[in-house]
Each structure stands twice: as C-alpha cells, then as structure tokens.
C-alpha cells in the first residue's frame, strides 16, 4: 500500500518573523526555512507504518518554489522513498494546493494521505480537509493515534475537551497533531542516501490546475503592541494592583 505525504517549506519555527515596513507581507528573505513541523510528524508516521510492514511505499510531495527540493530531500532522509515537486513561483493558497494534490493522488493512487494539521506560516488548517472533499474521501483531522487495519484506518483525534476515535474506510485522509509521534533526527548517512532517491518535477499546468489566488492580501501589519508592564516587588503589591488598578479580581 502506498502512502502520500505532502510537505511544506516554511520559515523555521524558531524564527521571529518581521512585518515588512511597506505592509506587503512578512520579510522572509535570508530567513532560515525548514519543513513544517506537523509535516515532519506526518512523514514520521508514514515511515513507521512502512517499518511495521503495513506500507510498501512512501511518496513525499511538495508544491512551491524550486528550493522546496531541499524540503523533499529532508523528507527522503526521514524515510520517504521518492519525491514529487510541483514547481511554481505563484504563492499558493490552500485550495490550489488541495487541487494540485488531488491531481497527484489521482495519478499515484495512494490508499492513505497523511498531512500536517496546519502550516505554521499561514496557520490555515485547510488543505487536508479540502483534499478529502475533492477526492470524496473520509478524513480524520488532528490525529494523535493512527491504527491501520484491513481496508480501514482507526484514528484517535484531539478535540476540544478530550479525545475522539473514528474509523474510516480506505482510501482516507489523516492530518497530524503534535502528539502523534516524535519525529526522528535525520542522520548523515540517510541524508547521503536521500540524495540518490528519485525526485520528479511537474508544473501545475501539466496537472491541469489553475493556481491563481482567490484572496487578495490588502496589507500585512504588526499586531497591536501590548504596552510595557511593570515588575512588582511583592505579592501584596501585585494583589492590590490587580484589585485597584487593573480591576480584574
């Protein structure tokens, strides 16, 4: 059984981004880029399923600029068998990504697609659900446990107030939450091996997908700054300030 894992190249999660002074976006020139953390978890899960003998092939796919190749190589160092890059300079919205992934899924015919629950740059949390809808497949979002059975997958999901378990008929979509697993570190030998794994490049036009953005970003601004606070010397002062100044207790 084949598993498809979409991965996204994003600004590294440790970087504190700055808004450009002209308000056109955030400044990501010369900033460290990495694989979206939720996608690492997705790849780790797919690789573990392969190691458990339940999956025969793991295919990583990424959409975006040429440098997404690096993200795919990282994915192959974690455990993907091959990579597919959908190369475009257009800034892709989740709907466009979902359509591109549908085209790849139609061709590759995976039984399971594991995605991260959200990318830490646009914080949309949409692609997995949209892809499930376009393919007409069932979905299990925010997964913290995945059990692959015969013709079905049982997934425990993190929901507000606790956990929920659903059973889906394959083929299906799963999106990962943080606690699904602890992704492995990529080792140097695996990085070297990953360089030899196949990486195909396609264009959105070849897949017949229109990726024109639907939303217009009018501007990007800094969030409202909190006014500087004070340090209080003792608990009594703190309580009196909360009572009389802030009036919150």
Partner 1 sequence: MVALVIAEHDNASLKGSTLHTVTAAAKCAGEVHVLVAGSNAGAAAAAAAKIAGVTKVLHADAAHFADGLAENISEQILAIAGGYTHILAPATAYGKNILPRVAAKLDVAQISEITKVDAPDTFERPIYAGNAIAYVQSSDKVKVITVRTTGFDAAAEGGSAAVETVAAAADFGKSAFVGREVAKSDRPELTAAKIIVSGGRGMGSADAFKVLEPLADKLNAAMGASRAAVDAGFVPNDWQVGQTGKIVAPSLYIAVGISGAIQHLAGMKDSKVIVAVNKDPEAPIFSVADYGIVGDLFEIVPQLVKELG
What residues between 93 and 132 interact with partner 1 by CB under 8 A?
93-95, 98, 117-118, 120-132
Query: Closest distance between partner 1 and the C-beta of residue 157, in Å?
Result: 8
The DSSP bridge pattern shows strands 112-116 and 139-148 to be unpaired
Draw the binding track, 23-62, toward partner 1 (x: CB under 8 A; -: no contact). ---x------------------------------------
Residues 6 or more apart whose Cβ sits within 8 Å of residue 1 = 54, 55, 56, 110, 111, 112
Q: What is the three-class DSSP state of 111?
A: coil
Q: Could you give the CA distance from residue 16 to residue 95 in angstroms, rounded to a whole number?
A: 27
Question: With CB under 8 A as the contact rule, which of the stretches 68-76, 77-85, 173-181, 190-198 interacts with partner 1?
Answer: 173-181
Q: How far apart are CA 156 and CA 175, in angstroms?
A: 11
**Nearest distance from C-beta of residue 249 to partner 1, angstroms:** 6
User: With respect to partner 1, which residue has the nearer C-beta, 73 or 117?
Assistant: 117
CB of 191: closest distance to partner 1 in angstroms? 26
Token pair for residue 180? 């699904």
Given the complex with partner 1, which of 68 and 127 has the nearer CB atom?
127
**Whole-Å CA distances, 140 to 11, 102, 143, 159, 183:** 26, 17, 7, 11, 20
How many residues form the binding site for partner 1 (CB under 8 A)?
80
């Amino acid at each position: 059984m084949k598993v498809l894992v979409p991965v996204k190249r994003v600004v590294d999660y440790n970087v504190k981004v700055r808004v450009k002074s002209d308000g056109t976006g955030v400044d990501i020139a010369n900033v460290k880029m990495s694989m979206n953390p939720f996608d690492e978890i997705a790849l780790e899960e797919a690789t573990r399923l392969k190691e458990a003998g339940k999956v025969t092939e793991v295919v990583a796919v990424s959409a975006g600029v040429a440098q997404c190749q690096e993200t795919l190589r990282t994915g192959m160092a974690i455990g993907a068998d091959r990579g597919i890059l959908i190369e475009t300079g257009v800034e892709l919205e989740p709907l466009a990504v979902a359509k591109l992934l549908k085209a790849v899924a139609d061709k590759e015919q995976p039984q399971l697609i594991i995605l991260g629950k959200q990318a830490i740059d646009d914080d949309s949390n949409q692609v997995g659900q949209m892809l499930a809808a376009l393919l007409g497949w069932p979905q299990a979002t925010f997964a913290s446990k995945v059990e692959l059975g015969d013709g079905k997958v049982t997934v425990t999901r993190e929901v507000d107030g606790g956990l929920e378990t659903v059973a889906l008929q394959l083929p299906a979509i799963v999106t990962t939450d943080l606690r699904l697993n602890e992704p492995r570190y990529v080792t140097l030998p695996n990085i070297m091996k990953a360089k030899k794994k196949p990486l195909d490049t396609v264009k959105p036009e070849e897949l017949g997908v229109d990726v024109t953005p639907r939303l217009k970003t009018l501007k990007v601004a800094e969030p409202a700054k909190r006014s500087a606070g004070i340090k209080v010397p003792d608990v009594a002062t703190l309580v009196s300030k909360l009572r009389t100044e802030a009036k919150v207790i």
